[in-house]
Homo-oligomer: A and B are copies of this chain.
């Protein structure tokens, strides 16, 4: 494809893309006190207006035969209550270890290989927010670390074929790595790395169906970032942080299933003793979807059920949670690059810390999102 005598230009090697999401979170809201800090800071917030959930652009490129780069800032992050500030999401390099880059070492801030939905881009996900259960393991999905990924060429071709079906992108068939463990954009607080491993394998069945079962686990020591002064904690506020999860995906051709479940141990606020204790946790979700193609248009109805029972280490006092939630929604693509989503959510959430020791919120709401991707 290269014209002889024509040298490569900078724009041949790198690619600029991105997406952003505008939301309205308050239609037919029955309980303004119902919120989900991990999901969307503007859901159940003081005001009831429009908000920008993500404003990302990315610069990526296979800039050398063995060298790949991925840099993605988000301009809709917060710093100390100031919104719409630019901060890093991903900043990593992939170094190929063999000629076909089947083995790669990934260095920098990148996604921790734990959970299919965590790996998947938010621009592809059907529900507006990630599930509480798996995502509370690695809030913001990323961390500073070094990861080894392996993906044979044959499977990579299959992954490309899966792209229209909201596949997670090439995070390898096998991933193994070490990382700081305090989640993205937080510096390390102890000298112990977290370790994570994941194995996920797409399989082509008869009748044109493709499934992808997966398994993953991580373990480490987490240092609590925020504790009320009255609450008792371990010395150095350091806690075991350990999970294992199973994933099952049936790609939507046209009917799809995406289900994951994890169990583990981590810090959790205990209101009877006003302390943070190491406790067990468990939870998961299942998303069912149906892809309808009408000419250039796509319509995807979906439902999701989820539950979570455990602490959220990254929140105040490792806040204690008990979540049951069901959602039904429709994602609609009237043209390329643009999509609209409307979701009806019925939620039952108990979430308690030192400040709100008895806090059980239930309610329903319709949320709407417009997304542009380029």
Measured CB to CB, the residues of A under 8 A from B are 9-11, 13-18, 20, 22, 26, 42, 45-52, 55, 57, 59, 61, 63-67, 69, 71, 73, 75-76, 79-80, 82-88, 91, 93, 95, 107-109, 144-146, 179-182, 184-191, 193, 335-338, 370, 372, 374
Contact = CB atoms under 8 A, between A and B. Distances in A.
A185 B71 contact: no
Contacts of A49: 144, 179-182, 187-188, 191, 193
A370 B109 CA distance: 13
Contact of A52 (B91, B146, B338): B91
Copies in the complex: 3
B52 A88 contact: yes
Contact of A85 (B85, B91, B193): B85
25 contacts: A9-B11, A16-B59, A22-B144, A45-B187, A46-B189, A47-B187, A47-B191, A49-B187, A50-B144, A50-B188, A51-B188, A52-B88, A52-B109, A55-B91, A64-B336, A65-B335, A66-B335, A66-B338, A75-B88, A76-B88, A84-B109, A85-B86, A86-B88, A93-B370, A107-B370
Chain B CB within 10 Å, residue with most, of A57, A71, A146, A374:
A374
Contacts of A76: 88, 91
A82 B80 CA distance: 8
A49 B85 CA distance: 25
A14 B145 CA distance: 33
Nearest to A78: B82
Contact of A69 (B13, B186, B187, B374): B374
A267 B340 CA distance: 37
Contact of A51 (B46, B61, B82, B144): B144
A10 B17 CA distance: 8
B187 A64 contact: no
B185 A82 contact: yes
Contacts of A79: 79-80, 82, 85
A75 B184 CA distance: 13
A47 B143 CA distance: 14
Contacts of A336: 64, 67
Contacts of A93: 20, 22, 338, 370, 372
